[in-house]
Each structure stands twice: as structure tokens, then as C-alpha cells.
Structure 1
Amino acid sequence: MQASDQFRKFLFEHSQIRGAWVHLSNSYNEILSQTSYPQPVTHLLGESLAASVLMSSTLKFNGSLSLQANGEGPVTTLLAECSHDRFIRGIARVDEEGPQPKGETLNQLLGQGRMAITITPDQGQRYQGVVPREADTLAGALEEYFERSEQLATRLFLFADGEHCAGLLLQRLPGATEEDDQLWERVEHLAATISAGELLTLDSETVLHRLFHEEEVRLFDREPVAFRCSCSRERTLAALQSLGKDECYDILEEQGSIEMDCQFCHAHYQFQRIDIDQLFSGHTLH
């Protein structure tokens, strides 16, 4: 049976082909518990969380990778984020005034809109790449992104059922040989036989053995994955600073204090005039 909330890398020995596997239960359910979502949205959010963990394996520095989408369909906002140390968070927003999401495809849920991958180093410049929206599944859209933006042949398999979400990634790295071409053709064909039931219920060893038992695969150690929000009082103050001094004092005059809730974990932050004085001037003479 499946062990909950784990991520594992693997590679095919003597080749330029790598892979990653993820399974989430506890963290996925903790994220879903923050807001009530229609079933198609829980599935899309689960796929997005699994994808963010798989793609975070490409990070070569401390930081985070997020998958973000803004749509004109029933789902207006989608965000899934994973840090280099495998902490995840995510959220979706549904148009409350429009029709409830019924379709299961990416385009039915998001409609017209923009999707992007954002890589944010703890130190250094943020990078953002646009994800094409021609494909009708999230996995297909992300495969197109890697092909176009990174010039890396990639296969992604993403599944979610409202209780578990899981994913499998295969990727050809630069410097592939003719033997790698043949291996890639084999493993791509084999991976396409994986079912949602298998990926959602089986452990990594069983999945990889079923798919690639004739290949030489090196499986790396398990890495735990957990939900953790990166919000803090300091970050919330930084957001207020970006809002601007005049706007903050206008809110204080109208409401007496400034209150903000984190959209990911619903943590509540309250700021008095003394906090805003210190934020903008470092003293309390305002």
C-alpha cells in the first residue's frame, strides 16, 4: 500500500533520462480543508500540487516553484507552490456568480486565461515562464512548456481523486545519445500504460517495478512532503508597505486598524496605528 506524502527521484542508469514520483494525502486534504471546492476543482488543484512537487525537483537552489493560472471560466484563480524542501501550499478560486464547474478538462475549468510557472530563489532574481494552453489537460500543457521553454522532452502523468493526488515525471536531459533515444521511446511507451488507480494507490517501488522492471533504474531516498504556509507577520507588513503609506493610513482612519487574513491557511493578522507608524517611519510620531 501507499505511504502518504512522499516524493522520490529516480534515473535510468547510464543514460540522460531522469524521473520523479510523488504521492500526497495528508497535505492535500489539509489544503482542501481550508475551502470547500466542487469536485472538478479538487481534482485540478490536486493535479497542480503534484505537478508543483515534481517540477520542484528541477530547482538547483533554495527557493520555491509555483504554478499559477488566472482564467475567465468557472475557476478564476489556481495556485500550487512547492519549496525546495518540499513544503507545499495551494488554493483555487471559483466564480461564485457564474455556473458551477462541471467539466473535467483544463480548458473547461479555466476558460481563456494565462498560466505561468514562477521560480523564486531565496536569493536572486525571480523567473517566470508562460505555459501554453493548447492542451486539454494540465499534464499536456506542462509537457508543452518543457518542450518549448526548456527544450526538454517530458512526459507527465497527474491524477487526483479528492483524497489522494499523485504524479509521475519522465524527462530527457541534454546530451542524450542514440541509445537514449531508444530507451526514451521504450520508457515513454511503458509509462503511458500507468492507470490512475495504480498511481494513486501503489508505492513508488511497485509503480516503477511494474513499469520499468526490464530497465536499470536507480531510485533515490524518500523525501517527505508537507503542507506549510509561508505567511508571517513580517511578510504581511511587507505587503502593506507595497500598498503604500497613504492607503494604509486611509484604512486606519476608516477602520481603526488593518486586518488581513492569509488566503492559504486563514491565519489572521491585525495591525494598529503604532505598527504602521513603525513600518513607514521607524517611530511613532505620525
Structure 2
Amino acid sequence: MQASDQFRKFLFEHSQIRGAWVHLRDSYSDILAQTDYPEPVARLLGESLVASVLMSSTLKFKGTLSLQANGEGPVTTLLAECSHDRHVRGIARVDEEATVAAGNLNQLLGQGRMAITITPEQGQRYQGVVPREADTLAGALEEYFERSEQLATRLFLFADGRQSAGLLIQRLPGATEEDNELWERVEHLAATISAAELLELDSETVLHRLFHEEEVRLFDREPVAFRCTCSRDRTLAALSSIGKEECYSILDEQGTIEMDCQFCHTTYRFQRIDIDQLFSGHTLH
């Protein structure tokens, strides 16, 4: 049995091929505990969380990477986010009138849009559209890297409602003929990984089983944890975007304004004096 909630990068020595491995248990359980998800939705959310961690490993700056999908199927919203320091959070929304049965990505989401959003702490936000032609999340993201980043990428994502795990391999620009031959071998070997192996085995064992004939450098373990980025100040900023008139209308009707974080269910309560200070800097009402 392997340790919980870890991420590791690796690379193939003397080549332009890199990889990443991740396993989530406690953080995945913490996120699932926020809502009672049907099993197919819990699995899809687990795959999405793993994908967000793996893709965040490609960031070269402080910030967050989020994977978001909106659809017309049983799952109307899917969101998984990972920061540069491996803090994850995620949520899925399910159509209450729909019957959620086991199905592929497109059956669960239906028609809709999927995007990757990169938000640096300093600099401009970037969003790229993920193709929805493949019937698995891994396949859709592989197409995204191929089309948007021109990077040959393979992703293996698994979740069983208790734990989730993933593997990424990627060929970087500047590959030589030797790199191309190595990529063919590595891609073929990676495709032999099973869900049971990736979910149950530690990183060293997985990489040894797959690539023991190659020269692989495995970097130090990095912990992964569920952590929500909500705060009272951020919630006030959201109220500001709602507008002064709407906020005071809610106050007149309810006496206070309460807002719940969709990720961690923390409740923030605001009195009239808080709204006065938000919009005027001092009490008016």
C-alpha cells in the first residue's frame, strides 16, 4: 500500500521526454465528503482532480490551473483546480431530475464546453478550449495538448470513489530522432498500466514496472492537500460584483446576507454595516 496524496515529477535522462505521477486519497475523500455524489460522478471528479494536478506540473510560475466543463447532460458542471503548491479543490453539479448511470465523458456531460484556465498570481489569465471529441477525459486532454500546445502527451487517469491516481508522459519541443524512438517505447509501455496498479502501487514500483530498461530520474515527493481558497474578503468582492442595489434588497428582505462556499461549505454572514462599508467605506444605513 502506498502513501497517500503525493505528486512526483520524473524525466528520461538525456532526452526531451518528461512525466508526472500523482495519487490522491485523503484530499479526494475530503472533496467527496462535501456532497453526496453518484458513483459515476465521483469517479469523473476524481479523474478531473488528478488531471488538474498533473497539468499544473507544467506551470513555470505561481498560480492555479483549473479544468472546467459545463454540459447539458446529467453532470451540468465539473470543476477541478490545483495550485502551484499542490492544493486542490473541486466540485460537480448534477441535474436533480436526471438519472445518472455509468457512462463515458460525453454521456455524463452531454453537449457543452470544456476549458483549461491558467491564472498566474502575477500576469494575465489564459484560457484554452478542450476538444470534446474523445469519449474519455484523458483522451480529450491529450487532444488539447496536441492541438493547443503542439506537445505529444499521454494521460492515464483512474478513480474508484476511494482514491484516484494518474500518470502523464509528454514529449517536449526539440526532440531528436533518438527521442522519437524513445517516445514510441515509452508510450507503448505506459499504455500497459492498469487501474489497479496505478491506484495501489507507489511511484517507484509503477515506474520500475513500466520503464525499468530506461534511465529515469525521479524527483522528490511533493504533498497534495485539499485546501479551499475562499475567504471573507473574496466573498465580499463577490458581493461587490452583485451590486449595491441587489445587496440592499437582500438585506431589506432577510436582514443579513449569507453566502456559502460551493467548495468547502463555509458560511459567510454579512450585516448591514458590512455592506455599508463595502460600498461606501463608512456606515450610511
Tell me if TM exceeds 0.5. yes
Cα deviation per residue 1:226-274 (whole Å; 9 max; x = unaligned)?
0000000000000001111111111111111110000100000000111
Cα deviation per residue 1:167-190 (whole Å; 9 max; x = unaligned)?
000001111000000000000000
Residue 97 of structure 1 and its aligned partner are, at CA, apart by 1.3
What residue number does 2:159 align with? 160
Cα deviation per residue 1:100-153 (whole Å; 9 max; x = unaligned)?
211330011000010000001112111100000000000000000000000000
What residue number does 2:241 align with? 242
Q: What root-mean-square deviation, in Å, do the aligned CA atoms of Structure 1 and Structure 2 show?
A: 0.6
What residue number does 1:202 align with? 201
Determine the C-alpha separation between the residues in 2 that align with 1:110 and 1:14: 41
Determine the C-alpha separation between the residues in 2 that align with 1:150 and 1:256: 51
What residue number does 2:221 align with? 222
Cα deviation per residue 1:167-224 (whole Å; 9 max; x = unaligned)?
0000011110000000000000000000000000000000000000000000000000
Paired residue secondary structure (2:43):
helix
Determine the C-alpha separation between the residues in 2 that align with 1:270 and 1:285: 19
What residue number does 1:122 align with? 121
Residue 280 of structure 1 and its aligned partner are, at CA, apart by 0.8
Q: Tell me which amino acid in the other structure corresponds to 1:52.
A: S
Determine the C-alpha separation between the residues in 2 that align with 1:101 and 1:224: 33
How do 1:110-149 and structure 2 match up within 5 A? 110-149=109-148
Number of matched residues?
Answer: 285
What residue number does 2:24 align with? 24
Paired residue secondary structure (2:189):
helix
The reply on whether 1:37 has 2:33 as its aligned counterpart is no
What residue number does 2:82 align with? 82
How do 1:256-267 and structure 2 match up within 5 A? 256-267=255-266
Determine the C-alpha separation between the residues in 1 that align with 2:2 and 2:48: 20
TM-score by length of 1: 0.99
Give the ranges of 4+ consecutive aligned residues of structure 1 lying more than 4 Å apart after TM superposition. Answer: none
Determine the C-alpha separation between the residues in 1 that align with 2:161 and 2:115: 24
Determine the C-alpha separation between the residues in 2 that align with 1:124 and 1:245: 29
Q: Tell me which amino acid in the other structure corresponds to 1:243.
A: I
TM-score by length of 2: 0.99
Determine the C-alpha separation between the residues in 1 that align with 2:236 and 2:65: 23
Structure 1, gaps ≥5 residues long? none
